[in-house]
DNA sequence: AAAGAACTTAATACCTGGTACTAATAGCAG
DNA sequence: CTGCTATTAGTACCAGGTATTAAGTTCTTT
């Protein structure tokens, strides 16, 4: 039942990681040591008290909520010639990146490109039906992504081909070929 | 500065909803009433104390998060077999649709699929490098989208092919073939 | 204007889950 | 036995409350 200190601390760390809500009392029972020992262990491992841990989990959550509402993900349109070309700029911020490595999530770049492609269409209804995309280099927190969209072909059947290339400085980070449906009300954007 | 009780309680509720982390003391300053009044208000409105509120926010989070990658997912993961298959559910809400026609934006479906595909990868780093997607029917406000991801091929060179199909009821609304890069730290998701 | 109800503030005891610190004890190695 | 690490105990204190009792303060209504 009783394990040596090192082992206990390893397990303690794991246990708390898996369940940040656990109190010192619980832990002391689980490891059959006194509550003070648990507290010494936490100190050495620099693990904060349960209320702080809970607060941390909660505030991470709040970040997530932000990334769900994608309304602001789209970037600023700085140029638009309908049915021809458009440019938008997006500054990569915290809510756009994986917290672990500060690399922008794929759907953020996609969202910028997709909404730019859709905005380009001079019609009441415009929905993406198909896309082929490539991510050519990762984009980091703080970088500015410039997306350039251009109409390639206006088909007779209500479909329009749009290509989007996104850059950070001189480097291309994303390209996508989109097929946009307009007007007909039976496709998906 | 001082507002009548009813109004204050309305504002109180809103304030706490927007920022569940706020303490009674802060609130009492903000509304220029004593701390006891705030507490009476909370009682009447059945709003729990700050620590309980924080715990609530945190546990909502934890419900969906069993592994690290889950927190990066858009939609609720309901099944996950690493390197094999995964399922997530997303209810389409106001912030996901074009206000004009209440049809979900393409990048919302893409985001669900993309984050599901990335979560599926059993590695520290997982980034989308390429995707081919089709939107087969538009998705409307209030509909529930079920995305099913499945690993098709684990290539030796660190790339994995994942296919995702999303359904509303029986109808397929989206399909995508993703190529995910893992581990190497030189691509883009 | 006086009475009463509604609202607000004050004061005090107590709770949880800790921190910070001091001190005592246990167990074992040399 | 000495010395050292590890553990346990105990006390004072803290934040952010709950719960309760009591005392104002307004507003209204008669």
- Per-residue pLDDT tens over the stretch A171-182: 999 999 999 998
- Please indicate if any CB of chain A lies within 8 Å of the CB of B25: no
Please name each of the domains of chain A with its CATH number: 5-67 (1.10.10.10), 70-182 (3.10.129.10)
Mean pLDDT value of segment A160-167: 96
For the cut 90, the answer to whether the pLDDT of residue A161 exceeds it is: yes
To probe the interface with A, which of B49, B106, B137, B184 has the most A CB atoms within 10 Å? B106
CA-atom Rg of chain B in angstroms? 22
Interatomic CA distance for residues B157 and A58, integer angstroms: 38
Interatomic CA distance for residues A120 and A81, integer angstroms: 7
Strand runs labelled E in A53-170: 76-81, 85-91, 126-135, 144-154, 159-168
- Please indicate if any CB of chain A lies within 8 Å of the CB of B99: no
Mean pLDDT value of segment A91-111: 85
Contacts of A62 (CB under 8 A, 6+ apart): B57
CA distance B4 to chain A (A): 31
Q: How confident is the model at residue B25 (pLDDT cuts 50, 70, 90)?
A: very high
Q: Which nucleotide is nearest to B43 (CA to C1')?
A: D18
A39-91 per-position pLDDT tens digit: 999 998 899 999 999 988 887 655 444 444 444 447 777 777 888 888 888 88
Q: What is the DSSP letter of B176?
A: E
- A6 CA – D3 C1', rounded, Å: 22
What pLDDT does B60 receive? 66
- Please indicate if any CB of chain A lies within 8 Å of the CB of B55: yes
* Helix H or strand E segment including B126: strand B126-135
Q: In what order do the strands lie in the sheet with B171-182?
A: A76-81, A85-91, A144-154, A159-168, A171-182, A126-135, B126-135, B171-182, B159-168, B144-154, B85-91, B76-81
Contact A106 B137 (CB under 8 A): no
Mean pLDDT value of segment B122-132: 87
* Helix H or strand E segment including B174: strand B171-182
CA-atom Rg of chain A in angstroms? 25
Q: Strand pairing of B144-154 and B159-168? A: antiparallel
Interatomic CA distance for residues A93 and A70, integer angstroms: 13
What pLDDT does A65 receive? 43
Mean pLDDT value of segment B27-55: 92
For the cut 60, the answer to whether the pLDDT of residue A187 exceeds it is: no
Interatomic CA distance for residues A144 and A141, integer angstroms: 9
Q: How confident is the model at residue A27 (pLDDT cuts 50, 70, 90)?
A: very high
Q: How confident is the model at residue B68 (pLDDT cuts 50, 70, 90)?
A: very low
């Amino acid at each position: 039942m009783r394990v040596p200190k090192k082992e206990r601390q390893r397990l303690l760390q794991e246990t708390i990681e898996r369940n940040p809500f656990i109190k010192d009392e619980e832990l002391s029972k689980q490891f059959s040591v006194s509550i003070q020992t648990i507290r010494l262990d936490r100190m050495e491992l620099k693990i904060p008290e349960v209320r702080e841990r809970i607060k941390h989990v909660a505030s991470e959550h709040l970040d997530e909520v932000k990334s769900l509402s994608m309304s602001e993900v789209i970037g600023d349109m700085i140029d638009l010639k309908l049915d021809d070309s458009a440019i938008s700029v997006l500054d990569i911020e915290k809510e756009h990146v994986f917290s672990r490595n500060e690399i922008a999530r794929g759907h953020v770049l996609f969202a910028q490109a997709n909404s730019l492609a859709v905005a380009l269409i001079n019609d009441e209804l415009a929905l993406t039906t198909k896309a082929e995309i490539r991510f050519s280099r990762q984009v980091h927190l703080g970088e500015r992504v410039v997306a350039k969209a251009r109409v390639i072909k206006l088909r007779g059947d209500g479909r329009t081909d749009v290509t989007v290339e996104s850059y950070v400085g001189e480097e291309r980070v994303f390209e996508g070929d989109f097929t946009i449906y307009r007007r007909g009300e039976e496709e998906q954007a």
